[in-house]
Amino acid sequence: MQDEMTPRERWLAVLNREPFDRFPLDYRATPEVTRALIEYMEAESWAEARDRLHIDPVIGVGGRYVGPEFDRDSSPFGIGYADVDYGTGTYREAVYHPLAEYNSVEEIEKNYEWPNPDWWAYDHIPQVIEEHPGWVIQGGHYEEFATYKDLRGVQQGYLDHIENPEILHYCMGKLADLAYARFERIFDQAAGDVVWSWVAEDFGTQEGLLLSLEHIREFHLPHMKRMIDICHDAGAFVFHHSDGAVRPNIPQMIEAGIDVLDPVQWRCNGMDREGLKRDFGDDLVFHGAMDNQQTVPFGTVEDVRQEVRDNFRILGDGGGYILGPCHNIQPVTPMENIVAIYETGYEEGWQ
C-alpha cells in the first residue's frame, strides 16, 4: 500500500484523471445524523469520527454577511423560513414568498429591493484556507432557480416558465448577476485554492425531468454556463448537482462544461450506473451513488458493503469516481450502515 495522499491531492488526482492512492470518500447528512454518529462511535467530536472513518475533509468558503439586519426567520431576500419537523428530522423550509403577489416585472421593480453584492464580505477566506492545509476547498454555489421558487412559491416558480416568462427571465438574470459577483469575489480571495464549485439545479423527479429540455436551455442553461466558465477560468472543477432521473439533460450539461455529475440516484429511470459510465464516463467524474432511499437506510450492512463494491467496480472503472451518499443521509438510517460505507470504502478503495 502506497503512502496516503492528502485529501486535496486525492481529489485533484481523481478530477484530473491522474493516478491516485484510493477513491475519495465524501460525507453529507442531516445534523441529527451527524450527532447520532458521533455518539454511536463514542467519539469526542465530528473531527474524530470523520478521521476514524477516513472521510476526506471538505470546507466551503463563501461570503460573510455584513449587510442590513434581518429577522432570524427571514433572509437577505426577504424570504420567510420555518423549521418543519418531518417526524425523524427537521428541515428549514420557505413559508413566505415575497414576490408571490406580483404579476409583472414593473411591479417587482417598483416594490422589491434586490440584495446588494456588497452585503457580503470575503476578506476572511485566505485565513480559512491557511488554517486547513491539505483539505478540499469548495467555493461558490449556484442554485438560483431554487431561490426563485422561494421568492415566488414552488408551484408558481414552475408555472412561470409558461405563464410569466418575462418575470422568470428578469428575476433569474438578477439572481445570476448576484451569484456571479459571489463567484468573482470568492476567486479573488482564494487565489486558485478552490478545488471545486457547485453549479446545481434540481431538474429531475424519480421518473423523468421536471422541466422540458427546451425550458432548461432557455431559462437556466445560459446562467449556469456563465458560472461554469468563471469556475474554469479560476481553475476550479464544476460539480453539477441534480437529483432524480436527469439522463436526458446530461448531454447539454456536458456541452455547457460540467466536470462532475452528482448525486447519481441510480435507481431512477435511465440512471443505471453501467449506462452512465458507458455513455458519459469519458466526459464526467461521478460523485455520490450510495442509495440513501433504499440501500443505506433499509438494507443490511452487507447490502451496503456490496453497493460500495459495485460503485467502485462500475463507476470507478478506470477512475473518475468519488464515493458518497446520493443526498443527505437521513435519521432513519442505522448507524452501522453509515460506518459500513466508509469502512468498506477505505478497505477496498485502494488502487
The predicted structure's pLDDT at residue 2: 54
The predicted structure's pLDDT at residue 3: 73
Q: With residue 95 as reference, give the H or E element that holds it.
A: strand 90-96
Closest CA to 139 of 196, 192, 201, 185: 196
pLDDT at 212 over 50: yes
What is the side-by-side strand order in the sheet with 136-142? Answer: 58-61, 136-142, 196-199, 237-241, 260-262, 285-290, 321-325
The predicted structure's pLDDT at residue 5: 98
pLDDT at 313 over 70: yes
The predicted structure's pLDDT at residue 189: 98
Residue type at 159 in one-letter notation: L
Average pLDDT, stretch 269-273?
Answer: 98
Look at 62-66, 82-86, 104-108, 125-129 and tell me which has the smallest mean pLDDT.
Answer: 82-86
> If 0-12 CB within 10 Å is exposed, 13-18 middle and 19+ buried, where does residue 2 land?
exposed
> Buried b / exposed e across 132-163, counting CB within 10 Å, b at 16+?
beebbbbbbbbbbbbbbbbbbbeebbbebbee
Residue with grid cell 441534480, as numbered in its chain:
242
Q: What is the average pLDDT value for the chain, to the nearest integer?
A: 97
Q: Could you give the angle at the alpha carbon of 225 between the alpha carbons of 224 and 229, nearest 5°?
A: 120
Beta bridge partners of 325: 290
Closest CA to 180 of 130, 136, 224, 218: 224
> Buried b / exposed e across 95-121, counting CB within 10 Å, b at 16+?
eebbbeebeeeeebeeeeeebebeebe
List, in order of start, the domains of the chain with CATH numbers: 7-66+116-348 (3.20.20.210)
Q: What secondary structure letter does DSSP report for 249?
A: G
pLDDT tens per residue, range 242-259:
999 999 999 999 999 999
% of residues, the chain, pLDDT over 70: 99
DSSP 3-state of 1: coil
The predicted structure's pLDDT at residue 1: 41
% of residues, the chain, pLDDT over 90: 97
Q: How far apart are CA 160 and CA 291, in angstroms?
A: 33
The predicted structure's pLDDT at residue 191: 84
Residue type at 160 in one-letter notation: D
User: Would you say 203 and 210 are in contact if contact means Cβ atoms under 8 Å apart?
Assistant: yes
Residue type at 174 in one-letter notation: K
Closest CA to 329 of 321, 341, 311, 320: 341
Q: How far apart are CA 111 and CA 13, in angstroms?
A: 50
> What does the DSSP assignment read for 108-149?
HHHH-PPPPGGGEE-TTHHHHHHTSTTPEEEEEEE-HHHHHH
